[in-house]
Amino acid sequence: MRIAVAPTDELPAGTMRLVSAGERLIGVYHCESGYHAIEDRCSHDDGPLCEGDWEPGSCVVTCPRHGARFDLETGIPLTLPAFQPVQTFPVSVVDGMVVVDVEG
């Protein structure tokens, strides 16, 4: 399934958009390194990861509940209390539209 997120001019560097993919939410981030998409679920306690602060330069998001930091490119946790990665999704630009590819 492909989800159209926004035209590229509506998602400039340093911004994020939360989109629905069926029953789950996905955060789509425009870091300095490009577009990245990650599930809105901290692997530590299933909290809303994308409500946390994030750093466009280093492409890292911090869970607002307990402070676990995740790499937005890989979903790998960088700090405790999380130790399991979260799912990431491929992002592309098609005809000026940011698109996320979500399986299932």
Q: Which CATH number fits domain 2-101: 2.102.10.10, 3.40.50.300, 2.40.50.140, 3.40.50.20?
A: 2.102.10.10
pLDDT by residue, tens only, the chain of 104 residues: 999 999 999 999 999 999 999 889 999 999 999 999 999 999 999 999 999 999 999 999 999 999 999 999 999 999 999 999 999 999 999 999 999 999 85
Question: Is it true that the peptide bond before 81 is cis, omega within 30 degrees of 0?
Answer: yes
Burial class (CB in 10 A: 0-12, 13-18, 19+), 63: buried
pLDDT recorded at residue 103: 81
Instruction: Give which of 89, 100, 99 is closest to 7, Cα–Cα.
Output: 99
* pLDDT of the residue at 104: 53
Q: Parse the chain into domains and list their residue ranges.
A: 2-101
pTM for the model? 0.95
